[in-house]
Amino acid sequence: MTNLKAVSPDQSSGKTKALFDGIQSKLGMVPNMMKTMGNSSALLEGYLNLSGALGAGSLGAKTGELIALAVAESNECNYCLSAHTYIGANLVKIDSTTLTEARVGYSGDAKTNSILKFAKILVSKKGKVSSTDVNTVKEAGLTDGEIGEIVGHVALNILTNYFNLTANTEIDFPLVEANKLETV
């Protein structure tokens, strides 16, 4: 049972309705997380704006999805694991091995591997990373701007993880569960 009620797009009005209409036109649906965020148009708009800005950043959509999976696994958020596995496979066209490996903070690509390891470190250290942690990711070839974007992606995904865990959002994607990984 959910803890927070999802807003029906048909019953929405004002700013929330406008946001839902935009989501519907872009995705062909309004996912349950966004319906539930619709209880606060400020939250939904903030989420959409940050997500859109980061999606247009230098890290790219594929890396953003991989970071989302690494963070969701760390926070044991089944909604986000389910959503980002679906989006990664079906919209961004990432293979299943890469999706699974991202959950544990690994990639066969050296730069992406550094990004995912840093994302996992950010989560585990609650943002209190060391100079060594930052220098390690810089040595992998990441710029200060890209490191900032990693922090932004981690923060965005912590927001959605915590929101979905609090709301107990009904999962409307094929279920993927935390701590149940295929062999990597």
Range of the domain at 51: 12-55
Predicted local distance difference test score (pLDDT) of residue 182: 61
User: pLDDT for 121-152, tens place per residue?
Assistant: 999 999 999 999 999 999 999 999 999 999 99
Confirm whether 182 is domain-assigned: no
Task: Region of 127 please: left (phi>0), alpha (psi -120 to 50) or beta.
Answer: left
Judgement on whether residues 42 and 109 belong to the same structural domain of the protein? no
Which 3 state secondary structure label does DSSP give 129? coil
Residue 50 sits in the same domain as residue 91: no
Number of domains in the chain: 2
Please give the structure tokens belonging to residue 19. 């946001």
Q: Is the domain of 48 the same as that of 103?
A: no
Same domain, 96 and 21: no
Give me the residues of the chain with pLDDT under 70, please: 182-184
Q: Are residues 35 and 90 in the same domain?
A: no
State how far the alpha carbon of 144 is from the alpha carbons of 58, 82, 149, in Å. 11, 31, 9
Burial per residue of 14-33, b for 16 or more beta-carbon CB atoms within 10 angstroms, e otherwise: eebbebbeebeeeeeebbbb
Phi, psi of 64 (to 5 degrees): -60, -40
What's residue 184's pLDDT? 46
Residues 129 and 41 in one domain: no
Whether residue 42 is contained in a domain is answered as yes
pLDDT of residue 180: 85
CATH number where 85 lies: 1.20.1290.10
Same domain, residue pair 68 and 41: no
| Same-domain check for residues 20 and 105 | no
